[in-house]
Amino acid sequence: MLYILACGMVFFPGLFCGLRKVLKSAFTHWSDADVVVVSERLVSSVHASLATVSGVLVVNTCRDVMNDRHWLVNSFVLFGAPYMAYDLYAMYLSHYHQQRLINNSAAHQNHSLQTVKAFLSKERLLVFHHMALLLVFMPIVLFFRRDLGDFFIACFWMTEFSTPFVSLGKILIQLGLENSKLHWINGVMVLCSFFTCRILLFPYMYWMYGQQFDLPLHSVPFHLPLHCNVGNLSIMVPQVYWFILLVKKAHRLYRRKVKDQGPKQE
């Protein structure tokens, strides 16, 4: 158990540091902020891909959604836990370098309590999300669920399917390709994958539970303990909020593109 945890503690920060060195050498005109942002996004995509593949493997193996076990569940939770702690630091580092880039006059500014507070204020929802996964989700999975529900744990991993597309969008902007066809196609994939794997996934899990116990979908919540419904709701609500933000952003970009093109002059 400790060996798997140690592997995660080495892998994610090590990959981040390695990518920073490679990108710094390959893109010498990039600022420290550019390098950190892209490195963070690439590591995030790697973690998301591992989580998605693990989730698919477990979901396809479990026939009994409540009682079937898979060795990968506890192992990946331990391996992925250090990622949450690392990603908090990487997000803060990205925020710090971006602020230094924006405030050129404060380029000498060092890390301080003020910079940490500014980061926590700006990214409070993401910070809360990471801390909840690390301090609540992980202990529940490892110690308090009585070896039940590997299927549902794997379903939650599959929510990460949209993350590489989100990261690719930001990397394309970083490369100056925000007006390319690839960026437009990727934006469509972001919306489709996010809606499918982060919102429709919840009724899917309830439907699968109903299929096993011969219950109609609408009655499943009334056959589950209250804490299960509350837990699912607390996870789903931020996903809906982020999806709305994505839709609004996509709509703004579309309107801007139409406005920029304008009516063709004869």
At 95-117, the pLDDT tens digits run: 888 888 777 644 456 777 888 88
Predicted confidence (pLDDT) at residue 181 exceeds the cutoff of 80:
yes
- Strand extents, DSSP E, 209-260: none
Instruction: Answer for the pair 151, 209: CB distance below 8 angstroms, yes or no.
Output: no
pTM for this one? 0.87
Cα angle value 237/211/162 (rounded, 5°): 40
Distance of CA 217 to the CA centre of its chain: 28
At 24-60, the pLDDT tens digits run: 999 888 888 899 999 999 999 999 999 999 999 999 9
Q: Where are the alpha helices (DSSP H) in 103-200?
A: 113-122, 124-132, 138-139, 150-157, 163-174, 181-198
CA distance 145 to 124: 28
Cα angle value 87/127/102 (rounded, 5°): 75
- The per-residue pLDDT for 18 is 96
At 212-232, the pLDDT tens digits run: 999 999 999 999 989 889 988
